[in-house]
Structure 1
Amino acid sequence: MIPVMPPSGYRGLSLWHDTIDPIEPRAALGADLDVDVAVVGAGYTGLWTAYHLVTADPTIRVAVVEKEVAGFGGSGRNGGWCSALFPASLTRMAAERGRAAAVRMQHRLHDTVAEVGRVAAAEGIDCHFDQGGYLAVARNPAQLDRVRAEVAEHHAWGFGDEDHRLLDAHEVTQMAGVSQALGGSWTPHCAAIHPARLVRGLADAVERRGVTVLEQTPAVEVGSRRVVTPHGTVRAEHVVLATEGYTPTVPGRRRALAPIYSLMTATEPLPESTWAQIGLERRTTFADNRHLTIYGQRTRDGRIAFGGRGAPYHYGSRVAPRYDRDERVHASLRRILVELFPVLDGVTFTHAWGGNLGVPRDWFPSVHHDRHTGLGFAGGYVGDGVATSALAGRTLAAMIRDDDPDELAALPWAGRTSRPWEPEPLRWLGVNAVTALMGSADRSERRTGRPSRAASAFWSALGQ
């Protein structure tokens, strides 16, 4: 368990925390408390759950218990992609509940992107929401093969060019001046946001609606009908665990999710002459189609915020502030960004940070609620959690209230649980081996132009 951070340290968590008003923690729990719903974790999942509960029923008593402050974890540090991306494929979702349910899930994810923007506007949350879509660029023949296959797959499931469109090299460079582009794809179902502004704004919004947000209040025990903290016990009919990448720090949950670190860097604000060569006028989010994920956006203040995987998994699912930065990975990210946009050679990088995200054993997020015990959970987004968590919170609220006119509980991720990760040292060996495999596959594809058989076999084994 990480120690509670002093308020002065929150600004240094990320670019996003450094560009909002200084954070003053809310009051901690002062005594035992009785509510209807207790939520552990003041990130996107917990706050969206609280939001949908109290907007559906203003009389419901909700308390959110947070070890640090709202937005301390991945919700405040991520790449700022509010997207309809989902780590499990349509084929994998269909295996759970059938083809129609898989298609309905994807449509729900599409709709949720815009819904996040509508709620933010309605609640006065200036989270820099700009829905410029997502551009996936192919920079070698292997990546181009995958882009074509992904677009063809979506078309086979009934989604047309208005949802997923194949681009040639010229169309790509009209959107973004990415070097060596052979082609790509574009989907409108993604917005660039300032993630800390969104999560902090959500905390304010639920508080205005009567939710009790308790910060700097660690949960030392989470069980049926109660959350125990050093300051007292919160008793509730329903308890929601919304701790995502910190879930392994909760007693009894060490193998539920693997906390994988994703790191980010950001440039100084760039002059208009540089942006004229880069493009991204609509703040379209961007990546190339490599296996070891990268992701970037143009910020409202004219920077590029850019991140990716490659940091090691730490033995025993350990989570610690010292893992938020890794100079080897940060140097690699800076190098990759300059490769994508050579005009950035020599630019100053002002921020480097990171955080953890939750990965389930089968790469399939889940949302579930047990009416017998009152325990609920949502998470395991594998880094695609900004919009996904909003849909998860809405689904959990419907399950808790036992009022589900939109049949959210019939979606493929509802009511399921991923099997636990293997015990150590198998978990450490397996997760880090996959990271090494993906990096090796990308190097091989860059060198030969041929798809990596090893990477293809891995994704096939996951049912993707």
Structure 2
Amino acid sequence: MPNNGPICASCCWRRSSRATARRAATAAGCRRRSPATSKRYAKTGGREGVTRLVREMESAVDEVIGVCAAEGVDADIVKDGVLHVARSEPQLARLEATLAANAEWGIDETHERRLSRAEVRDRVRVEGALGAIYSPHCARVQPAKLVQGVAAAVRRLGVTIYEGTEVTAIEAGRAVTGRGVVRAEYVLRCLEGYTASVSGRRREWLPMNSSMIATEPLPAQVWDEIGWSGAELVGDNANAYSYAQRTADGRIAIGGRGRPYRFGSRTDTDGVTQAWTIESLRAILHSQFPATYGLPVAHAWCGVLGVPRDWCASVTLDRSSGLGWAGGYVGSGLTTTNLAGRTLADLVLGHDSDLVSLPWTDRHVRPWEPEPLRWLGVQSMYTLYREADRREAAGLRRPSRISRFANLLTGR
């Protein structure tokens, strides 16, 4: 079963080894950066801090690619960038607003640029495309291969990886498991959406479900009709957005939220994807690429990503307790984990590096509301997003006000 997702810097501003690979696949969906994210980071790091974090995120893409090359990790990596495509006037208005807002933060054409309808068509023929934002700071990757390759590389360096032992609680200097207690000076929690499975952590990061489907390899004539000859990642500019890539073996893998959240912060355990979600993603695939009508879906899978209450990633170390954590990537984890891991390592080692002063360091975010409030909030948000998309697709000329209310509802 292919697991696919991008290493992407621009997306981060708008988340057993088999289980790890599945999580990586579903946690890598492209999303546009939100100007609200920049404002939140600016409260702790100022404008200059936001700019530094953007640059570090972009350089992290090349860092991952460089390490894979040095360690011989074959993860189907191609750095062809990412397109966020607008397919309606409201989506185009959101695209223009995003560009304008990001420009105020110094995010210029070296980070992202506007593409015309013709320029989008030259790269990939997305049905109804009116324009797009393109960022070069994104690469296609096969996350299962990446996870397995990195694991093999660290084993060669003498690191022992322990699997099959669930941590049920985290305390100062202790990780409690069903087989005993592991003691260490520092205990670092890097579980993303699976944080909710640890005792006392259920409300810290909300486990958001994300799902993907992949087609069988497409015939050459279908690829010719779509015109997608490169390895660009493609996301849309809908409120309930989707993300897609052309895989190394000639499939289209496309993802979206599906059933976004399970009551009580329950998480997926087997990767089984609901039939409704598969059909929803199939409909998006056919809408964006009509040439795929009639072609079978070969695989479907799902997992969870971690969402903090303010929708912003963070890296923290409390030296008094020895407890630290990194996460809350909200679907952009394949790049962010690299930068967060290096930042967390510098914090533990006491290195006064540029990374430890980034504005996402030592941020404390309030927990999510108790049930049933958080379930109602997330369900309402996506119900409103889908209704907003329905109205926009039906001919609304401006972005639906319903989506603004959805953002206010959840603090997104």
When normalised by structure 1's length, the TM-score is 0.82
Q: Which residue of 1 aligns with 2:250?
A: 302
| Cα separation, 1, equivalents of 2:326 and 2:382 | 25
Match of 1:424 among 371, 374, 377: 371
Q: Which residue of 1 aligns with 2:10?
A: none
- 1:115–1:411 Cα change, 3 Å: same
Q: Is 1:113–1:190's contact at 8 Å kept on the other side of the alignment?
A: yes
Q: Is 1:441–1:452's contact at 8 Å kept on the other side of the alignment?
A: yes
1:386 aligns with 2:373: no
| Cα separation, 2, equivalents of 1:461 and 1:318 | 22
Superposed CA offset, 1:372-427 (max 9, x none): 1111101111111110111100100000001132x212111110122111011111
Q: Is 1:84–1:113's contact at 8 Å kept on the other side of the alignment?
A: no
Q: Is 1:248–1:255's contact at 8 Å kept on the other side of the alignment?
A: yes
- Local SS of the residue matching 1:259: strand
1:196 aligns with 2:183: no
1:291 aligns with 2:239: yes
- 1:262–1:81 Cα change, 3 Å: closer
Q: Which residue of 1 aligns with 2:388?
A: 441
Match of 2:356 among 395, 409, 413: 409
Q: Which residue of 1 aligns with 2:2?
A: 15
Question: Please, what is the CA RMSD of the aligned residues?
Answer: 2.2
When normalised by structure 2's length, the TM-score is 0.92
Q: Which residue of 1 aligns with 2:300?
A: 352
1:395-406 to structure 2, matched below 5 A, reads 395-405=343-353
- Local SS of the residue matching 2:186: strand
| Cα separation, 2, equivalents of 1:207 and 1:86 | 38
Q: Which residue of 2 aligns with 1:244?
A: 192
Q: Is 2:125–2:289's contact at 8 Å kept on the other side of the alignment?
A: yes
1:160 aligns with 2:108: yes
1:141 aligns with 2:89: yes
1:165-244 to structure 2, matched below 5 A, reads 165-244=113-192
Q: Which residue of 2 aligns with 1:281?
A: 229
Match of 2:265 among 317, 323, 345: 317
Q: Is 2:3–2:21's contact at 8 Å kept on the other side of the alignment?
A: no
Residue type at the aligned position of 1:425 = P
Structure 1 runs not aligned, ≥5 long = 1-13, 18-43, 45-67
Q: Is 1:224–1:239's contact at 8 Å kept on the other side of the alignment?
A: yes
| Cα separation, 2, equivalents of 1:338 and 1:361 | 34
- 1:347–1:331 Cα change, 3 Å: same
- 1:379–1:74 Cα change, 3 Å: farther
| Cα separation, 2, equivalents of 1:138 and 1:95 | 31
| Cα separation, 1, equivalents of 2:31 and 2:288 | 22
Structure 2 runs not aligned, ≥5 long = 8-15
Q: Is 1:221–1:229's contact at 8 Å kept on the other side of the alignment?
A: yes
- 1:83–1:360 Cα change, 3 Å: closer
How far residue 119 of structure 1 moved from its aligned partner, in angstroms, is 0.8
1:452 aligns with 2:397: no
| Cα separation, 2, equivalents of 1:343 and 1:294 | 18
- 1:272–1:358 Cα change, 3 Å: same
Superposed CA offset, 1:319-349 (max 9, x none): 1336741111110100111110101011111
How far residue 83 of structure 1 moved from its aligned partner, in angstroms, is 9.2
Q: Is 2:378–2:410's contact at 8 Å kept on the other side of the alignment?
A: no
Q: Is 2:28–2:332's contact at 8 Å kept on the other side of the alignment?
A: no
Q: Is 2:114–2:134's contact at 8 Å kept on the other side of the alignment?
A: yes
Match of 1:270 among 218, 243, 259: 218
| Cα separation, 1, equivalents of 2:411 and 2:131 | 26
Q: Is 2:93–2:398's contact at 8 Å kept on the other side of the alignment?
A: no
Of all paired residues, the percent bearing the same amino acid is: 44
Q: Is 1:79–1:296's contact at 8 Å kept on the other side of the alignment?
A: no
- Local SS of the residue matching 1:330: helix
Superposed CA offset, 1:167-216 (max 9, x none): 11111111111111111110101101000111111112222222221011
Moved more, 125-134 or 277-286: 277-286
